[in-house]
Structure 1
Amino acid sequence: MSATILIIEDSPEIRLSARFILEDHHFKVLEAENPFYAQELLDQGIEVDLLLLDMNFSRDTTSGEEGLSFLKYLQKQQLNLPVIAMTAWSSVDLAVTAMQQGAVDFIEKPWQNQRLISLIKQQLKLAELAKQNQKLNQQLQNNASPTFVYRSDVMTRLFNALGSVAQTDANILLTGENGTGKTQIAQWIHQQSQRHSHPFVAVNMGAIPENLFESEMFGHKKGAFTDAKEQRIGRFELADSGSLFLDEMANIPLSQQAKLLRVLEKNEFEMVGSSHTQQVDVRLICASNGDFSKLIDNELFRQDLYYRVNTLEFRVPALRERTDDIVPLAEHFIAQHCAKYQRPVLTLTDDAKHALRQYRWPGNVRELGHVMERAVLLSSTNQIAEANLNLQPTIHTQRLPLMTLAQAERTLIDLALERSQGNIPAAAKLLGLTKSSMYRRLEKYAIAHHKES
């Protein structure tokens, strides 16, 4: 896409001359006869990639005061636009001052056309590199290669199937219970794909407030809303040319699903507060433990969006379905946590291995990792025995009597709170709920709650 250059110059002849040169090199050109008009354009959200700024206007001819004031305005507004300062007077002092105020380079009038074009291209390239750095700084996702430990047939079949499609650009939907490792599998798919050298950006859709959905996903311009103190790059732009992982996909509010569908269909979006349409190229990987059939039947999830995200659907098995993997995974976590806490490597006793295989693991691999971390920290010998595991009978091993759904839900909530010792986030994880969903149910059944973490 052609870059847009804003020429801020009081002489119509110089603006016309610059326009001819720039358009010959396929740049888009905007003009402003003074800094005040240029400020109006920028305040309106006009998209500009670089400024050519004359330093002297009608007030005087040598001080550069108006140009310097405009540079201060750009800094105050945090408009990170490259500025090439221009003046008809050869003044080293003014050039130095302009650079100190934020100009990226300086050129004298009359200019040499080739030098002007060379400066512009150089600064546009540097600006693009700075933008890439901003993207990297915004990415909190740890892209370290995930380690998978498995021996079971069900996991072998899953990874064989995933390996056959990972190098394509097909959208993938991963389903399965919470804690089964869907995020790590999404990372693995990305790393096996042709996009592996580009970003992997993960978003927990259940954690995004509805009023911030567009800002989080598409980004926003500075001043787009009350708290928009600076420009923010959205997740789609961060993931451009790479993979975008949308976790808890079923939790997207219905009101926002059409906006997401438009991006997936047309590969384009606008930042909040901008009318400029941006193109994007991402490979979509989604994950959910929701029942999409019920959500669609209840008109809580758009069927067309579901078809768009599940070109290929894979179910990640629960840990209780892969009992051959439980002990190897436990030993992997022991080695990991012993290294983390600088402890000698511990071994599992036979009774501990038996207990691990018999336990139902409602929290799946995530819960196994927490159990082994606790056992490593509390162990006083070089072995981990069954007693060190502190495994309690789970609600999955107990048969509930026949009761209404509301009664069953209340019973399960009470059991989860008892198991987590009143820790609400932990109880929510055991039930496969978000923290906000858990609080709604506590209010629904008038269950007193105190512990927040």
Structure 2
Amino acid sequence: MNKVLIVDDQLDVRMSASIALSNHGFSCVEADSPLQAMQIVTTDKIDLILLDMNYSSDTTSGQEGLTFLQQLQSKNINVPVVVMTAWASIDIAVQAMQLNAVDFIEKPWKNTRLVAIVKQQISSAQLHRENARYTALSKPSTSQDYLVQSPVMLELLAKAKRAAPTDANILLTGENGTGKSLLANYIHQHSNRADNRFVSVNMGAIPESLFESELFGHKKGAFTDAKENRLGRFDIASDGTLFLDEIGTLGANLQSKILRVLESGEYEVVGSSQTEKTNARIISATNANLEQMIASEGFRRDLLFRLNTIELHIPPLRERPEDITLLAEHLLAKHATKYHRGEMTLSSAAHAAILQHPWVGNVRELSHSIERAVIMSEHNVLDVNVLSLNNHSENTSQSWPLMTLDESEKRTLIAAIKHFQGNVIEAGDYLGMSKSAIYRRLEKFAIDPKNLEL
């Protein structure tokens, strides 16, 4: 159900709009001021804002409404806004449109026109998002450097280069944060498909109910919310590379659907009986031990055979110290540029501490540590204290009691959330989980981040 935020300081106007829209299936939220509206739109998912331009402090100029539109722009809040005013001012309408308002309606309105405008603008916004998503997915990937100097990684890249032109399916294994997606892109760039698309999909972030629509696409009207035709990832990646990240998170039913495509290259778009063909090259990745999952009947062996024609394992960062300094200096330059800090360097003590740290989160943890240091440091030479390594270094030799995989995962989630002071998104990023994936696990284990002792 689409949600509309109605912003007006007159209760009768809000009630009138709310009743008219609710009768046509919209969920309505009300605010009596731009300040209250901004609080709502930053915490709730709003599909459209119906915004009055004049309030008690200024009933003619529309300045309060214009200021609200400017604030939406500055905060990068992309919600369509339909402005309304009792004053038939073309100037206000023009100014509002210049600040990205999508339409204009005068009060008093006819309910049929109000409903028609809201429906049209929500539909247009959804179509725009879908087009933007397709454009982003369709762009050929840009070449990325893979910075390594350790013998083990140089050998790995040599193997990847040899495998790249073959079109063989490749399985990448390794801990979270080791750079599996970067290696997948590297392989694509050295393949015969480099001029075509590299499409990445996080398998652990797709709800089972949307799996076929996301991977195979759907036809308009195939189900309740299928308002437009949608291309699936296999179609978008045709002639290019499809990267299936977190492949080990798939349930048994979804594994069988992927297996069929890998065996025959055939699939059906949801809502269509016509069989489609894909020639996308498949690269997959996992941090799970798939052999152990096969032994416990959590993963199909025939699917593994289809995925790992060539298997490449990325060793953890702690096992290749030659790469740590190289990566640290690269990341320092990258984050210093991002935050406009000028040239920054690491002190000799910071260098030593970085080499001694276990980097349980691998390159991702290293990047986060340096990024925080760049932001918080008052100086251009980063010392060991600003890296805060002692606060979250882990004793990797610690003996853990025997427990189930679910209990182990639950403990790891709780530890990560505590480590990042309750920031679920940052904890998920550290663990290699998407936003939707970590929230699904929080629900699974009934973990409430607000009730954890940080």
Cross-structure match for 2:198: 200
Q: Among 145, 148, 151, which residue is 1:147 paired with?
A: 145
Cross-structure match for 1:215: 213
Cross-structure match for 1:303: 301
SS of the residue 1:226 aligns to: coil
> Gaps (5+ residues) in structure 2?
1-130
1:200 Cα deviation (Å)?
Answer: 0.8
| C-alpha separation in 2, matches of 1:173 and 1:275 | 31
1:172 Cα deviation (Å)?
Answer: 0.3
| C-alpha separation in 1, matches of 2:204 and 2:311 | 20
Cross-structure match for 2:52: none
Contact 2:204 2:437 in 1 (8 A): no
Aligned-residue RMSD, C-alpha:
2.7
1:443 Cα deviation (Å)?
Answer: 6.4
For 1:267, give the aligned amino acid.
G
| C-alpha separation in 2, matches of 1:443 and 1:137 | 33
Cross-structure match for 1:360: 358
Alignment of structure 1 residues 112-151 onto 2, 5 Å = 137=135, 139=137, 143-151=141-149
Which one is further off, 150-159 or 412-421?
Answer: 412-421
1:154 Cα deviation (Å)?
Answer: 1.0
1:138 Cα deviation (Å)?
Answer: 5.3
Contact 2:205 2:437 in 1 (8 A): no
Cross-structure match for 2:423: 423
> Gaps (5+ residues) in structure 1?
1-132
SS of the residue 1:274 aligns to: coil
What is the percentage of aligned positions where both structures have the same residue? Answer: 47
Which one is further off, 135-144 or 201-210?
Answer: 135-144
Cα distance change on mapping 1:191 and 1:392 into 2, 3 Å: same
Cross-structure match for 2:326: 328
Contact 2:140 2:195 in 1 (8 A): no
1:165 Cα deviation (Å)?
Answer: 1.2
| C-alpha separation in 2, matches of 1:175 and 1:248 | 10
Cross-structure match for 2:259: 261
Cross-structure match for 2:169: 171
Cross-structure match for 1:183: 181
1:411 Cα deviation (Å)?
Answer: 5.4
Contact 1:270 1:277 in 2 (8 A): yes
TM-score (norm 2): 0.65
Cα distance change on mapping 1:194 and 1:443 into 2, 3 Å: closer
Cross-structure match for 1:44: none
1:162 Cα deviation (Å)?
Answer: 0.9
| C-alpha separation in 2, matches of 1:358 and 1:225 | 55
| C-alpha separation in 1, matches of 2:412 and 2:217 | 40
Cross-structure match for 2:315: 317
Cα distance change on mapping 1:135 and 1:438 into 2, 3 Å: closer
SS of the residue 1:397 aligns to: coil
Alignment of structure 1 residues 96-115 onto 2, 5 Å = none
For 1:330, give the aligned amino acid.
A
| C-alpha separation in 1, matches of 2:223 and 2:443 | 32
Contact 1:206 1:248 in 2 (8 A): yes
1:168-219 Cα deviation digits (max 9, x unpaired): 1111000001111110110110010011111111110001100111101110
1:142 Cα deviation (Å)?
Answer: 7.3
Cα distance change on mapping 1:140 and 1:390 into 2, 3 Å: farther
1:429 Cα deviation (Å)?
Answer: 4.7
Cα distance change on mapping 1:143 and 1:448 into 2, 3 Å: same
For 2:421, give the aligned amino acid.
Q
Contact 1:362 1:394 in 2 (8 A): no
TM-score (norm 1): 0.65
Cα distance change on mapping 1:278 and 1:446 into 2, 3 Å: closer
1:114-138 Cα deviation digits (max 9, x unpaired): xxxxxxxxxxxxxxxxxxx999515
Q: Among 323, 339, 348, which residue is 1:341 paired with?
A: 339
Contact 2:358 2:393 in 1 (8 A): no
Contact 1:219 1:232 in 2 (8 A): yes
| C-alpha separation in 1, matches of 2:185 and 2:245 | 12
| C-alpha separation in 1, matches of 2:143 and 2:390 | 33
Cross-structure match for 1:377: 375
1:266 Cα deviation (Å)?
Answer: 1.2
Cα distance change on mapping 1:213 and 1:411 into 2, 3 Å: closer
For 1:160, give the aligned amino acid.
A
Cα distance change on mapping 1:436 and 1:271 into 2, 3 Å: closer
| C-alpha separation in 1, matches of 2:440 and 2:276 | 38
Which one is further off, 337-346 or 390-399?
Answer: 390-399
Cα distance change on mapping 1:353 and 1:142 into 2, 3 Å: farther
1:404 Cα deviation (Å)?
Answer: 3.7
1:422 Cα deviation (Å)?
Answer: 2.1
